Structure 1
Amino acid sequence: MSRPQTSEGQIGSLAVSALMVLAGVVTLWDTQGYADRDSQVFPQTVAILLIITALGSLVWRLLHPSDNGGFGAGIWWRRLLLVAALFACALTMPSIGFLASGAIAFAGGLIAAMHDRWDARTALIFGLSGAVVMGAFYALFKFVLMVPLP
């Protein structure tokens, strides 16, 4: 068996996996204080899946070290835009609502991910498909799962 590698990609992958395990454990601990048992189900399920997948990633990286990983080459502003859009969505949701803040996250993620040239047709198709997806999620949460939304 080869000696474990300590490249930035290897160390970063192990650190992020460990951080995700910790986030899952903290989330599980936090849900114990929820008064309504039904409100615990979704965050607990996501936390358990996060812990399992992050532990799998951690174990895989320990058993199969690799120099590949980390951020690699890329365009920094795209990463920054995605994180900023997600933070903006989370921070504005209580004041402007689920759909409007979801539009912020969708638009930011779309702009960050789109590497091809934009034209009116592409913008229209992506905008309409985003509206349909967000509307479907709104309907699912509001009317099927009965989740109170802002």
Structure 2
Amino acid sequence: MKKSFFTVSALAGLLAVATSFSSRDVVDIPMKSSLEVHHNESKTQTFKIRYGLLSKSGTKLLSGTYDLGGFVAKNMTTGELYFSEGYQSLPQYSEEIPAGEYAFSGIQGQGGWVGYGTVIATVSEANVDAEGYITVYIPIMWEE
């Protein structure tokens, strides 16, 4: 009798504990679809920059070799620097530049024969041309 009373009590206690929790209480975490998670964790959109020069006479130059050490884009908000790929010849490119406002400059070449200016421009989808680039022309300020 003692054994059956204990067994019944244990079963009743176990049943009470088991029914006091529902699976909803235990797993009350909203589940997201894989599409939702992917959308929320998407990468920042980046852009391809194509660099050219603007001659002193106002001609846009996208080819040729110059006393040029490359180009640099400085994000005006974060201060991050992005350097072009290439050296001396045009055009040069920077890949994966995040949207934002930038100061674009030419880097003086080894000979020091040409000085380059700075252009402030916004990198955004609105400035992408038909070829898929944002083309920035850096002015030649002086040349010897």
Tell me the TM-score range normalised by the shorter chain. Answer: under 0.3
Query: How does the TM-score come out when normalised to structure 1?
Result: 0.21
Q: Which has the higher helix share?
A: 1
Q: Which has the higher strand share?
A: 2
